[in-house]
């Protein structure tokens, strides 16, 4: 049956060698992944082919973005067959059609705002959509804030600054919204997810996670939250238990429902993780995990040569509870 991970209602089988690339193509780091209403899978990666599209069985369909993107970082799927692509290399968010036509561009390509200025953007990281179509963007690597835009890209407001208090950030790395309009921000280096209303008012935070990298909430009321946790890179706690790298599944109050990859040692084998950067779930409940494996490897395994085949994109097929024994 293959390697089984997770538990209870969140049990999965690792789908080995899922992504079938054309001869000679390499993925590199998979910064983000998303699925559309036909369960096609959009893999936003740092290679010569930034957006690679597969069917749910891993068959290659097409690629695009070769003349658009500089450094893939975030993907968010729109409800109207669109995709929002966050490029931290040229400081932009682009709304695209599913075949790669740019429909809206927010930010000025290659013109970052000053470091920690709070103005959009300086190495923006991810994008989320509110139920009314408003656009939220985390601006994390050289800023410490969230920006809110109207559906046509007009800047409405920003909030946050560098720090550790409520509403402050230390690398806001990912963001998502639920159908009630709450905004969830992966405040990675503060080891928490902060929850805000649609106007940036702090509500609460979840702290039972370690370096949250990727967030995904399925559509629907009171959704669960899938969290990719990067795990420790420092030598003194690399391999320590209960820190990841892993994928955690939380309810909408932040309680842990299941975890994948509880083995504390990072790895390049089925059921283990290197650096989970993005999570997506299709209509059948299958998981797709994008990993910045090339970037993560030298931090996790200093001095060891890069494997010929890194697990940059993985599929986990949901297994009905009670069928694995």
In 189-303, alpha helices (H)? 293-300
Strand-pair category, 145-149 with 276-281 = unpaired
How confident is the model over 259-263, as a mean pLDDT?
83
User: pLDDT by residue (tens digit) across 104-126?
Assistant: 999 999 999 999 999 999 999 99
Percentage, residues of the chain above pLDDT 70: 98
- Residue 241's pLDDT band (cuts 50, 70, 90): confident
Which has the closest alpha carbon to 259: 274, 269, 244? 244
Q: Which two tokens stand for residue 84?
A: 């929002």
- Residue 250's pLDDT band (cuts 50, 70, 90): very high
Give the integer Cα–Cα distance in Å for 298 and 195. Answer: 33
- Residue 223's pLDDT band (cuts 50, 70, 90): confident
Phi, psi of 298 (to 5 degrees): -65, -25
Give the integer Cα–Cα distance in Å for 98 and 137. Answer: 20
Strand-pair category, 202-206 with 212-216 = unpaired
Query: Are 84 and 76 spatial neighbours (Cβ–Cβ below 8 Å)?
Result: yes
Which has the closest alpha carbon to 316: 260, 236, 266? 260
Which has the closest alpha carbon to 188: 227, 159, 158, 218? 227
How confident is the model over 258-286, as a mean pLDDT?
90
For residue 245, the surrounding DSSP H or E stretch is: none
What is the structure's pLDDT at 325?
Answer: 54
| Fold classification of 18-313 (topology level) | Neuraminidase (2.120.10)
What is the structure's pLDDT at 221?
Answer: 77
Q: If phi over 0 gives left and psi between -120 and 50 gives alpha, with beta otherwise, what is residue 147?
A: beta
For residue 31, how far is the Cα from the chain centroid? Answer: 7
- Residue 239's pLDDT band (cuts 50, 70, 90): confident
Give the integer Cα–Cα distance in Å for 290 and 313. Answer: 5
Give the integer Cα–Cα distance in Å for 138 and 214. Answer: 12
Cis peptide before 300 (omega within 30 of 0): no
What is the structure's pLDDT at 324?
Answer: 66
Please say whether the dihedral angle defined by the alpha carbons of residues 134, 42, 257 and 246, taken in this order, is positive or negative.
Answer: negative
Q: Where are the domains of the chain?
A: 18-313
């Amino acid at each position: 049956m293959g390697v089984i991970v997770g538990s209870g209602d969140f049990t999965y089988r690792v789908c080995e060698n899922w992504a079938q690339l054309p001869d000679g193509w390499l993925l590199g780091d998979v910064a983000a992944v998303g699925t559309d209403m036909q369960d096609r899978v959009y893999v936003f990666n740092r290679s010569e082919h930034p957006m690679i599209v597969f069917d749910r069985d891993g068959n290659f369909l097409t690629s695009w973005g070769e003349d658009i993107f500089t450094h893939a970082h975030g993907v968010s799927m729109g409800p109207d067959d669109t995709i929002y692509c966050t490029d931290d290399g040229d400081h932009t968010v682009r709304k695209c059609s599913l075949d790669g036509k740019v429909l809206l561009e927010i930010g000025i390509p290659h013109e970052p705002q000053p470091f920690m200025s709070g103005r959009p953007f300086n190495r923006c990281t991810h994008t989320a959509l509110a139920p009314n179509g408003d656009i939220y963007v985390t601006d994390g690597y050289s800023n410490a804030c969230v920006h809110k835009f109207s559906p046509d890209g007009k800047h409405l407001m920003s909030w946050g600054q560098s720090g550790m208090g409520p509403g402050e950030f230390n690398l806001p790395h990912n963001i998502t919204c639920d159908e009630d309009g709450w905004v969830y921000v992966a405040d990675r280096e503060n080891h928490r997810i902060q929850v805000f209303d649609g106007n940036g008012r702090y509500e609460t935070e979840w702290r039972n996670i370690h370096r949250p990298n990727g967030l995904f909430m399925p559509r629907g009321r009171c959704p669960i939250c899938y969290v990719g946790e990067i795990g420790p890179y420092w030598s003194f706690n690399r391999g320590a238990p209960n820190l990841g790298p892993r994928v955690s599944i939380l309810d909408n109050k932040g309680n842990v429902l299941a975890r994948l990859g509880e083995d504390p040692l990072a790895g390049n084998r089925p059921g283990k993780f290197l650096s989970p950067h993005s999570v997506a779930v299709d209509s059948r409940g299958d998981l797709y995990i994008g990993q910045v494996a090339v970037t993560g490897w030298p931090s996790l395994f200093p001095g060891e040569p890069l494997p010929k085949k890194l697990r940059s994109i993985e599929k986990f097929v949901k297994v009905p509870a009670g069928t694995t024994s």
